[in-house]
Structure 1
Amino acid sequence: MEGKRKRKLSVAIITFNEEKNIGDCIRSVVSFADEIIVLDSLSTDKTKEIATSFPKVRFLEAPFPGHVEQKNKAISFCQNEWIFSLDADERADEVLQNSIQTFLETDEVHCDGYKIARLTFHLGRWIRYSGWYPQRRYRLFKKANASWIGENPHDFIELKPGSFGKVMKGNILHYSFTDFSHQITTINQFSSIVAYTRYAKGERFSLMKTIIKPLGKFFEIYLFKFGFLDGIPGLWIALASSFSTYLKYAKLYELDQLKIQRPSNIRKDYGKK
């Protein structure tokens, strides 16, 4: 099938201690990738050993300055015009694999990027509401026409002005949390990053926002984004999202009022170029 290809594709993945995920992630893209860039932020587990067992992988290491910065660095190492970007806890499903293969064999492509839906598995089921699906974002794009932007750790691809995008069939399967405890750990870490980033940009603590924003987030997820249709997991997601919002402002209070330098669970290399 590769003899019919009209273009080559790089896959970009960033990692840190992803020995449980990286193998399945690479296996989901190895059939259509011409090269796989794995940019690792100094893992201490078997991530490197597993990743380098795949011949198409080029394994690179660099300190972690932030999600946006690291993902942009990863795509800068890609040698092909088109890039498919994945996190280590994501996989391309069979429909998406076929869609990408068709894209690679198409004579002419009249766009600069493709939005792809992401389907998350959490608390024993696929979450199809709660604002988690389809959550289409650009993931397949021309290197020269796109970059990662956003507020760390909530990053996303943006096409340059004048670029044109389409939607691609298939899903990115997201295995974000092993269980609810893992979700709480992630919420604790990510809320620290958000508070630290916002404080550095000049935002300061607001008691009113600390009270109102978490309540608003719960109703947004559970009612307006139909979280109740996800059953009990939808309720847990809404409550966890509300808690996450509260933590961001509580940690902003620490930075602003208590003058701590950074939340204790942020890596020391975070923010370093």
Structure 2
Amino acid sequence: MFKLSVCLLTFNSARLLEDVLPPLLQVADEIVVVDSGSSDRTPEVCQQFNLTLHHHPYAMHGAQMNYAISLATHDWVLCMDSDEILDAQVVDYILALKAGSEPEIDRAWRLPRYWYALGQPVRTLYPVSSPDYPVRLFNRNQAQFNDRPVDDKVVGKIRCIKMPGHVRHDTFYSLHEVFQKLNGYTTRLVKHQNIKPSIARGVISAIGAFFKWYVFSGAWREGKVGVVTGLYATLYSFLKYFKSWYASNDKTPSITKKTHESRVSD
């Protein structure tokens, strides 16, 4: 039997927090909530569940999650974003896992994460297909999150097992959030990675993304939601090259320094 710390990141998360917290409370021996400056009811909701918020400025998702892990009391951690909801099968699996003997330190578990956009399930959401299986339960002495600007992941000498069940990843709940994340992600990508500055490459990449993520993926069958996810993939593929080109050709300070990065959950 072992103890488990749940590490939860929040930022203006009141929309779903009352659905996210109950299953986490069932599996957690403690919940560490790290908030990056919520201006909605997130603090009040956490207070309703007798949870303390730890405030920490947001830089990147992986760094924020590693900070939450550093505050945990227990070495085994379950790392969650505030738009991810565990179902009963996942909860039961984790409870059974905790009730058994303590696993070997290099064991880790992947969550079965199903993506939702605008409240509907989607088959693809650039650059992933649904479901995906991120590593989220592990021993912090054996692994941690890397520092990639987007699409970070857990790295370390670990042997991974997929959990059964369904984790609802309820992202992109409005068109405003779609474009907010699109802008934030592409700005961070250009700032922290070496993206070749080329409009031509951006156009070619966007055309390829449109066919791969809208036509060939079958997103066109999903109505308006499919149009949104296809447009997101197309614009993402173009904007990362366009922003890099703009920054390299602009004599004023780089847009990657001027643009306020939106703080969002991966």
TM-score category of the 2 structures, normalised to the smaller one: 0.7 to 0.9
**Does structure 1 residue 261 correspond to structure 2 residue 258?**
no
**Does structure 1 residue 151 correspond to structure 2 residue 145?**
no
**1:193–1:266 CA contact under 8 A, matched in 2:** no
**2:206–2:235 CA contact under 8 A, matched in 1:** yes
Query: Match of 1:59?
Result: 53
**2:219–2:230 CA contact under 8 A, matched in 1:** yes
Query: Match of 1:103?
Result: 97
Q: Which of residues 76, 79, 83 is equivalent to 1:85?
A: 79
**1:113–1:166 CA contact under 8 A, matched in 2:** yes
Q: Name which of structure 1's ranges 23-32 and 80-89 shifts more when overlaid on structure 2.
A: 23-32
C-alpha displacement at 1:149, in angstroms?
1.5
One-letter amino acid of the counterpart of residue 152, structure 1: P
CA change 1:69–1:129 in 2 (3 A) is closer
Query: Match of 1:34?
Result: 29
**Does structure 1 residue 114 correspond to structure 2 residue 126?**
no
Q: Name which of structure 1's ranges 119-128 and 85-94 shifts more when overlaid on structure 2.
A: 119-128
CA change 1:242–1:268 in 2 (3 A) is closer
CA-based RMSD of the aligned residues comes to: 2.4
C-alpha displacement at 1:138, in angstroms?
0.3
1:190-214 CA-to-partner distances (Å, cap 9, x unmatched) read: 222222222xxx4441233212211
Query: Match of 1:169?
Result: 164
1: CA distance between counterparts of 2:249 and 2:23?
47
C-alpha displacement at 1:38, in angstroms?
0.7
Query: Match of 1:19?
Result: 14
**2:16–2:83 CA contact under 8 A, matched in 1:** yes
Q: Could you tell me which runs of 5 or more consecutive residues in structure 2 were left unpaired when the two chains were aligned.
A: none
2: CA distance between counterparts of 1:144 and 1:223?
44
1: CA distance between counterparts of 2:115 and 2:15?
17
Q: Could you tell me which runs of 5 or more consecutive residues in structure 1 were left unpaired when the two chains were aligned.
A: 1-5
1: CA distance between counterparts of 2:76 and 2:220?
39
Q: Name which of structure 1's ranges 174-183 and 64-73 shifts more when overlaid on structure 2.
A: 174-183
**2:4–2:76 CA contact under 8 A, matched in 1:** yes
Query: Match of 2:136?
Result: 139
One-letter amino acid of the counterpart of residue 156, structure 1: K
1:54-83 CA-to-partner distances (Å, cap 9, x unmatched) read: 23x342111112222111111111111211
1:209-248 CA-to-partner distances (Å, cap 9, x unmatched) read: 2122112222222355443554553343122211112112
1:157-195 CA-to-partner distances (Å, cap 9, x unmatched) read: 12x23x211111112211112223321222122222222
C-alpha displacement at 1:21, in angstroms?
2.8
Using the size of structure 2 for normalisation, the TM-score is: 0.87
Equivalent position SS for 2:161: strand
2: CA distance between counterparts of 1:100 and 1:9?
10
**Does structure 1 residue 192 correspond to structure 2 residue 187?**
yes
Number of aligned residue pairs: give it.
258
Q: Name which of structure 1's ranges 116-125 and 65-74 shifts more when overlaid on structure 2.
A: 116-125
1:13-51 CA-to-partner distances (Å, cap 9, x unmatched) read: 122222223332222311111111111112233322221
CA change 1:91–1:265 in 2 (3 A) is farther
Q: Name which of structure 1's ranges 239-248 and 39-48 shifts more when overlaid on structure 2.
A: 39-48
Identity of aligned residues (%): 24
1: CA distance between counterparts of 2:160 and 2:262?
38
Q: Name which of structure 1's ranges 66-75 and 220-229 shifts more when overlaid on structure 2.
A: 220-229
Equivalent position SS for 2:154: strand
Equivalent position SS for 2:14: coil
**Does structure 1 residue 72 correspond to structure 2 residue 66?**
yes
2: CA distance between counterparts of 1:66 and 1:148?
11
Using the size of structure 1 for normalisation, the TM-score is: 0.84
Query: Match of 1:217?
Result: 209
1: CA distance between counterparts of 2:119 and 2:262?
34
1: CA distance between counterparts of 2:175 and 2:96?
38
